[in-house]
Structure 1
Amino acid sequence: MDTSRLTSDRYNDYSSTEVSPSEENSPGTIGNNVSRPRQYERLGEDSSTTWYQTLIHLLKGNIGTGLLSLPLAVKNAGIVLGPLSLVFMGIIAVHCMDLLVKCAHHLCQREQRPFVDYGDALMYGMQGCPSQWLQRNSVWGRWIVGFFLILTQLGFCCVYFVFLADNIKQVVEAANGTTNDCSANETVVLVESMDSRLYILSFLPFLILLVFITNLRYLSIFSLLANLSMLGSVIMIYQYIGRDIPDPTHLSYVSSWRSFALFFGTAIFAFEGIGVVLPLENKMKIPHQFPVVLYVGMGIVTILYISMGTLGFLRFGSSIQASITLNLPNCWFYQSVKLLYSFGIFITFALQFYVAAEIIVPTVTLHVHDRWVRCMDLTVRAALVCLTCVLAILIPHLGLVISLVGSVSSSALALIIPPLLEILTYYTEGLSRWVIAKDIFISLVGFLGFVLGTYVALWELIVPEVSPALNETALFVVQ
C-alpha cells in the first residue's frame, strides 16, 4: 500500500452508504498540497441538510438486516437479559458516537481543518498523544479504521447474499402451498428446491452488474423505493408480532455465556452505525443541532431494536429463525414482506459496497495507465463481489454470519476505538481518572465481546450443534 497516498490525506472514509459523497472536488488542499477529492464539506445551503433530513439519514443508516435478526439475539441472551442488554449496548453505542463527534471537533480546531473523518481523527489523535512511538506510527490509525471499515462493509454484503438466498428460497419452496388466508393454522409441505448456496450463486451476476453503477445518483430512485419497501415490511411485521402473543413463562430468562456471545455479535452488528455520524454532522446546515438529532434518532433506533427483538422472541419463542421474516405465515400478504424487504436489501447491497469500493479501487488503480483505469475499476468491483459471494457460500448460516461480522469488525468501530480516541485526544489537556476508567471499561467490553463472539461464532461454524436454526426443514407452520 502506498504510504505517501495515505499520508497525503487522499483517503476517503465513506462510513455510511446512506450519505452520498459530493461529486465535486474540495476547493482546498491538505497535507502536502494534494487536493482531496469528494471530501465532505459545507459548501453552502444547497449541500446542507436540515435537522429533519439528518434524522432521516441517521435512521436509514442504522436500520437494515440487523433489525430483523434481533429476535434471535434476544433468544440467545434470554427474555430478561436480552432487552436489558440491548438498552445497555444502546447507551454505550450512542455515547461512543457522541465521543467521536466531540473528538473530531476538537481535532479540527487543533489541526486547523474544516473536517476530519473517522480515520483522520484516530491518526491526528495519535499524533497529539505523548507517546513518540504512537506519533511515529500515527498513519496506522487511518489504516486500522480503513481496514475495519472495509471488513464491516464487505461483511454486510456477505450477510445480504445469505439473507436474499434464505428468503427467496423459502418463498419459492412454499409457492405451491401459499394461500390468501393468513389466519388459518395449517402445516405446509415445502417443495424442495436447489440448495441455498446455489441461490447465493444465482444472485452473483445481478449484483455484479449492480455494483458497476459507480454513480450513486443513478440509484437514487431505486434507493427511495427500497427504503419505502423496507419501511412497509417493518410495519407489516410489527402488526403481526404485536398480537396473539403466547404465554412467555416457558422462555428462558438468562442464557449461557456461549449464547450470550452470539447475542453480542448480533446486537453490535445492528448498532454499528457510528461511521455515519461525522459525514452527517458535517453536512448539517446548523451543526450544533446534531447532538439533539443524534440522541433523538438513536433513541428511536434503540426503542425499535428492543421492541422488535422482544416481541419477535415472545411471538415465535424457541422456533425463531435468523431473520424474523422466515417465521412469517405462508400467505401471499406476508410472503410479499419477504419479497419487499429482499428488494430493499438487493438495492442496499450496491450502497454498502460503495463504501469499500471507494477505499480499495483508487488504491489499486493508482499506478494503472489511464487507458486501463476503467477496466481495472470494474474488474476490482467484480472480484470483490465474487469474494463476498464465496464467503457467503462458505458460511451459509445467516445468524452466524451476522454474529461473526458484528464481533470481528463492528465491535472495533463502535465500541473499542472511540473511547481510546478520547484518551488520545484529551490526555495532554487533562482527563480525570474516572473518565479514563470509563473509557477503558467500554473498550474492554468491546474487546471481550470481540474475542468471545468471534470464538463462539467460529466454533459453531466448525462444530455446529444440531439445532433447528442451523438446519433446513421441510415443514413450515403457519401460525
Structure 2
Amino acid sequence: MATTRLRNDTFNDYSSTDSSPAEENSPAINNFPPISGQYERIGEHSSSSTTWFQTLIHLLKGNIGTGLLGLPLAVKNAGIVLGPLSLVVMGIIAVHCMDLLVKCANHICQRNRRPFVDYGDAVMCGMEYAPSHWLRANSIWGRRMVGFFLILTQLGFCCVYFVFLADNIKQVVEAANATTNDCSSNVTVVLKESMDSRLYILSFLPFLILLVFIRNLRYLSVFSLLANLAMLGSVVMIYQYIGRDIPDPTHLSYAASWKTYPLFFGTAIFAFEGIGVILPLENKMKIPHQFPIVLYVGMAIVTVLYISMGTLGYLRFGSMIQASITLNLPNCWLYQAVKLLYCFGIFITFALQFYVAAEIIVPTVTFRVSERWTLLVDLSMRAALVCVTSHIEQPIQRTITPYCQERGIMSLYPSVLAILIPRLDIVISLVGSVSSSALALIIPPLLEILTYYSEGLSRWTIAKDIFISLVGFLGFVFGTYVTLWELLAPESHPGHVNSTLYAVQ
C-alpha cells in the first residue's frame, strides 16, 4: 500500500481494516450522487463491495475485542443489577448515535454532492452549515478534533494490548510447572515471578514493530482470519467455564458505590466505542439501504455478549474477578491454551488497530520530506509509535526510585510516577471517559443538530440530542475526575483494584 499523503489537513477515517486508502478513495470525484429522497452510495465496484452478511461480520469484528474480557470487572464497579441495566441503556444510546452519524453523513453527501465523507469530514461539513459564524469559521477544527480522539483511542488500544500480552504470557510461563489436566479448580495458581512483566513487554516490542511495517493489511488477511477464529474459540471456552457452577450471588451488591460507577462508565463506553468503523463499512456495502438493519442486528449481538460476559464473569468469580477474565481461569492445559489463542488474536489485532492512528499521523510527517526519504521516515514513525505504546519508559522506575529514596523526596515520587508510568486500568478508563465519550456520545447528537438545524428540527429532537450529549459530557467529567483521583491517591479510593484492566475494543 503506497503511503497516503495528507494535504490541507485532510485525512481518512480508515477504521475499516479490510481495504486500503487507495481503494476507499477510488471513486471519481465527478461521479456525484443524485439529489433524491433515496441516498445511493456510488463509485464502488461490485467486486469490492460487501454483502450484508460480510458487513455484519466486519461490524462484529470491529466491536468485539478485549473489551469483552474486561467487562466483568466493570460490572463489579457498578453492581450486579445496576451494571447489566446500564450496559443495556448504554448499548441503546451508542447504537442510536451510530445511526445518527450514518444519516448525517448521507445527508451531507447529498447536500455537498460528494461520494463519501468520513467522520472528521462529516463534523467539519456540519459546522460549515451551523447558525454560528464562529463555528463556520473554525469548521476545520471539527475534523482535527475527531482525528485527535481517534488517535488517542486507537493508540490506547495498542497500549493495553502490550500489557495484555505480557501479563497473560507471563502467567502461562510461570504456571507451566504447576499446570495439570485437572480443570475443576476455580483458583488461578499464583507462582513466584520468574521475570518482570516489563521484560515481556520489551520482548514483544521488535515483533510488533515488524508487524506494523506491513503497510498493506491485505497481506495480513489470512492471519486476521486465523486470529478471529482463535479469539472466537477462546470466547466459547470462557463461556462454557463461567456458565456452570455459579456460586450463590446474594452476597454481591446490587449497586456499587457511586465513586466507582464512573470507572464502570469509562470502561463500558470504551468497549462500545466502535463508531469509527461505521462509515467505512456502510460505504463498502453493495446495497447501503440495508445497513441500518445490519447495524441494529450486529450491535444487538454485541450488547448481548457484553451483558452476558460481564454478568456471568462477575457472578462466577465475585470479588476475586481480575482485570481480564482470562487471568481467573484455572491452571490446566485447556485454559492455558485459551489464553495463548486469545494472545495470538490480540497480537494480530495490534496491527489492525495501529493502522487507523498510523494513517492519520504518518502521512502528515512524510508529506514534509522528499520522496527519497519517504519510506525511511514512514517506517521510523511507525517504530516510534509502537515504542510509545509499549510503555518502555517503565524501566525508568528502577532508576527513579533509589534516587528519590536517597534524597528524601519520596513524597513527590508517587504522584509523579503515577503520571509518568500509570496503571493501565485507570488509563483505559480515562481514555474511555475522554475520547470514547466524545466520539460515541457527545459528537453525533451535536452533529445532527448542526446538520439539520437550518432545515428545521423539532424541539423534541433537539432536546433528545442535548440530553444524550449531556450524558456523555457528565460521563466525561466525572469519569475523568475519578480516574485522575485514582491515579494521584489510589490508596484512599474505595474503588481501587490492584490489577490491570484490559478493557479494549
TM-score, normalised relative to structure 1 = 0.92
Q: How does 1:303-382 map to 2 (within 5 A)?
A: 303-382=304-383
1:168 is aligned to 169
* Separation in structure 1 between the aligned mates of residue 53 and residue 427 of structure 2, nearest angstrom: 34
1:7-51 superposed Cα distances (whole Å, 9 cap, x missing partner): 757411113435654547525248xxxxxxxxx964221011000
The answer on whether the counterparts of 1:177 and 1:189 sit within 8 Å (CA) in structure 2 is no
What is the 5 A alignment of 1:186-335? Answer: 188-335=189-336
Taking structure 1 as reference, are residues 186 and 362 closer, same or farther at Cα in structure 2, changes over 3 Å only? Answer: closer
1:155 corresponds in structure 2 to 156
Distance 1:461 1:203 in 2: 27
How far is the alpha carbon of 1:110 from its aligned partner?
Answer: 0.5
Aligned residues: 459
Most deviating of 72-81 and 461-470: 461-470
Equivalent positions of 1:32-43 (< 5 A) are 42-43=43-44
1:109 and 1:9, CA in 2 relative to 1: closer, same or farther beyond 3 A?
farther
Structure 2 vs 1, CA of residues 401 and 342 (structure 1 numbering), >3 Å: closer, same or farther?
farther
SS of aligned partner of 2:130: coil
Counterpart residue type for residue 58 of structure 1: L
Contact 1:395 1:401 in 2 (8 A): no
Q: Secondary structure at the match of 1:338?
A: helix
Partner letter of residue 460 of structure 1?
E
Query: What's the CA shift for 1:402?
Result: 2.6
For residue 476 of structure 2, what is the aligned residue in structure 1? 450
Is the contact between residue 266 and residue 429 of structure 2 (CA under 8 Å) also seen in structure 1? Answer: yes
Equivalent residue in structure 2 for 1:433, among 438, 453, 459: 459
Q: What is residue 11 of structure 1 aligned with on the other side?
A: 11
Which whole-Å CA distance do the structure 1 matches of 2:187 and 2:134 have between them?
A: 67
Which residue in the other structure is 2:107 paired with? 106
The one-letter code sitting in structure 2 at the alignment partner of 1:453 is: G
* 2: CA distance, partners of 1:25 / 1:287: 17
- Show CA shifts across 1:195-248 (max 9, x none): 222222221111111111111011111111110100000000000000000000
Amino acid at match of 2:480: T
Question: For residues 364-399 of structure 1, what are the alpha-carbon distances to aligned partners after superposition, in whole Å with 9 as ceiling and x for unaligned?
Answer: 011201110000001110111111112894556443
Q: Contact 1:42–1:283 (CA<8 Å) still a contact in 2? A: no
- Does the C-alpha gap of structure 1 residues 167 and 179 become closer, same or farther in structure 2, counting only changes over 3 Å? same
Q: Which amino acid aligns with 2:28?
A: G
- Report the alpha carbon displacement of residue 63 of structure 1 after superposing the two structures with TM: 0.3
Contact 2:170 2:200 in 1 (8 A): yes
SS of the residue 1:192 aligns to? coil
- Farther off after superposition, 448-457 or 181-190: 181-190
SS in 1 for 2:260: helix
Question: Does residue 412 of structure 1 match 2:438?
Answer: yes
In structure 2, what residue type is equivalent to 1:454? T
Contact kept, 8 Å, 2:130 with 2:136, in 1: the verdict is: yes
Contact 2:486 2:496 in 1 (8 A): no
Unaligned 5+ residue runs, structure 2? 31-40, 395-419, 501-505
Q: Which moved more, 1:255-264 or 1:71-80?
A: 255-264
* AA partner of residue 14 (structure 1): Y
**2:479 is matched by which residue type in structure 1?**
G
Q: Deviations over 1:166-197 (max 9, x none)?
A: 11111111111001111246774513122222
* 1:400 positional shift: 2.2
Whether contact under 8 Å (2:74, 2:310) holds in the other structure is yes
- Displacement after TM superposition at 1:343 (Å): 0.7
1:428 Cα offset (Å): 0.9
Q: Which residue of 2 aligns with 1:34?
A: none
- The match for 1:401 among 427, 431, 434 is 427
Classify 1:135/1:324 alpha carbon distance in 2 versus 1 (closer, same or farther; 3 Å): same
The question of whether the paired residues in 1 share the 8 Å contact of 2:430 and 2:479 is answered with yes
Structure 2 CA distance for partners of 1:189 and 1:290, relative to 1, 3 Å: closer
- Provide the rounded CA distance (Å) in 2 between the counterparts of 1:440 and 1:447: 10
What amino acid maps onto 2:72 in structure 1? P
Determine the C-alpha separation between the residues in 1 that align with 2:149 and 2:329.
Answer: 34
Q: C-alpha offsets along residues 56-89 of structure 1, whole Å, 9 cap, x if unaligned?
A: 0000000001110000000000001000000000
Letter in 1 for 2:448: E
Contact 1:19 1:57 in 2 (8 A): no
Contact 1:229–1:344 (CA<8 Å) still a contact in 2? yes
Cα distance between partner residues in 1 of 2:176 and 2:104: 53
2-structure distance, mates of 1:185, 1:443? 42
**1:261–1:189: structure 2 CA closer, same or farther, 3 Å change rule?**
closer
Contact 1:158 1:391 survives alignment (8 Å): no
1:46 aligned counterpart, secondary structure: coil
Tell whether the 8 Å contact from 1:197 to 1:396 is kept in structure 2 after alignment.
no
CA contact (8 A) 1:196 1:396 kept: no
Amino acid at match of 1:26: S
Identity over aligned residues, as a percent? 80
Contact 1:395 / 1:461 at 8 angstroms: preserved in 2?
no
Instruction: Report the AA paired with residue 424 of structure 1.
Output: L
- Which 5+ residue runs of structure 1 have no aligned equivalent? 31-39, 473-479
Q: Kindly indicate whether residue 486 of structure 2 is the aligned counterpart of residue 460 of structure 1.
A: yes
* Contact 1:54-1:293 at 8 Å conserved across structures: yes
Q: Please tell me whether the aligned partners of residues 404 and 453 of structure 1 are also in contact (alpha carbons under 8 angstroms).
A: yes
